[in-house]
Amino acid sequence: MTHYRGLHGLRGLAALTVVISHALLTDNRMFAVTLGKPVTGASAWITYSPLHLFWDASEAVIVFFVLSGFVLALPFVHSTPIAQWLAYYPRRLARLLLPIWAAVALAFVIAVLIPRSPDTASSWVDQHAHAATLHNAAQAAVVRGDLPLNTPLWTMKWEIMFSLLLPAYVLGGRLLRKVWLPMVVLAILVGVWGGHRASAYIAYLPVFAVGTLLALGRERWMPWFGRLTGWRMWLVLVAALGLLNVHWATRATAGTGPGNLWIPGSIVLAAGALVCLFAATPAVAAFGTHRVVAWLGQISFSLYLIHEPIVVSIAQIDGGRMPWPATLAIALPASIAAAAVFHRWVEAPAHRLSRRIGNAFSSR
């Protein structure tokens, strides 16, 4: 199986974006943005401009979902022995659940040691005020409920569900391999319809299908993306980043009614294009494999899982009144350092254990 190492860098950048986003949300002016309230001044500049790319957390999640669809489908694009499927399930579930459970335990300990006040100056921080309960820890461990203990875990519900449904995605993709591109368009449209109908299942699960279809049809698109150089590469890259940020670039003047249904579809399309660029375009893939970017990719899952309790705790220092640049300056390096330790002592051993579990099942 071919490994597209540039994709590790893309995952790392997406995780970094989520951390930056949560650091900014500790500031009520930035939190108001997520509630649909208009902002002015400097806040508007970093909200309604390409600068929002650095804290596009929701869009980063879409990138994660397309990435998962692509990477998980790769080993199964051709005929697959039953032993490989038998090994897949225990390996994948151990790969996800062991770090999740450790992250839940860590979040609980942090919330107990650094009690959350419900009366800070930050509305976003206040949402985590009563997180340190065994009920919340149990809910987080099975990724159900509101997850105030560690809210980013909401995405793990969809990652686990897709992981369980992967055979259906792969089988459907194989049957439709010859029309993979129209199926990508259809998956995007179905997801847009699901979002409009407020159905999270229909909105998110088709996003994984986009990644799966890209894996199954990669012989068609990789040569084209592999030839992108110079201004053509920059044109495609800028277009992809622009579409990824289109919600915020247009929100200053556009509403959120039915006339804007093209926006979520454009975001998924952009996420797919970024996966293609980081997988196949030489200069972009080289950036994704740069030592620093690749290292971020290596710890990205750990960073995503454990950063929020750290951000919330740091915001508590000054009762939620700390300006977001100060919160970011402290929380970002602290989260990265903690993620490196978590990866070294939790995620990496869990990954090795998951491989041994998978090998045990495949050898039966």
Whether the per-residue pLDDT at 254 is higher than 60: the answer is no
Whether the per-residue pLDDT at 76 is higher than 60: the answer is yes
State the pLDDT at residue 35.
85
Average pLDDT over residues 133-158: 92
CB 271 within 8 A of CB 279: no
Whether the per-residue pLDDT at 256 is higher than 60: the answer is no
Whether the per-residue pLDDT at 263 is higher than 80: the answer is yes
CB 233 within 8 A of CB 281: yes
State the pLDDT at residue 11.
98
- Weakest mean pLDDT among 35-44, 46-55, 109-118: 35-44
Calpha distance 264→222 (Å, rounded)? 25
pLDDT band at 249 (very low <50, low <70, confident <90, very high): confident
> Domain residues of the chain, as ranges?
6-362
As a whole number, the mean pLDDT across the chain is 93
State the pLDDT at residue 70.
98
**CA distances (Å), origin 254, targets 38, 49, 347:** 12, 14, 42
**CA distances (Å), origin 109, targets 71, 131, 137, 342:** 33, 11, 10, 14
> In sequence order, what are the residues at sequence separation of 6 or more whose Cβ sits closer than 8 angstroms to the Cβ of residue 207?
62, 65, 66, 69, 187, 191, 268, 271
Whether the per-residue pLDDT at 258 is higher than 70: the answer is no
Calpha distance 68→87 (Å, rounded)? 18
- Residue predicted with more confidence, 38 or 154: 154
Whether the per-residue pLDDT at 298 is higher than 80: the answer is yes
Whether the per-residue pLDDT at 253 is higher than 70: the answer is no
pLDDT tens-place string over residues 315-349: 998 888 999 999 999 999 999 999 999 999 999 99
Residue with tokens 């108001």: 32
Whether the per-residue pLDDT at 257 is higher than 70: the answer is no
Average pLDDT over residues 29-49: 88
State the pLDDT at residue 102.
98
State the pLDDT at residue 343.
99
State the pLDDT at residue 146.
78
The DSSP letter of residue 132 is: -
pLDDT tens-place string over residues 82-95: 878 889 999 999 99
pLDDT band at 33 (very low <50, low <70, confident <90, very high): confident
- Weakest mean pLDDT among 17-26, 52-61, 75-84, 100-109: 75-84
- Residue predicted with more confidence, 205 or 121: 205
Residue 17 burial class via C-beta count within 10 angstroms: exposed 0-12, middle 13-18, buried 19 and up: buried
Average pLDDT over residues 125-148: 89
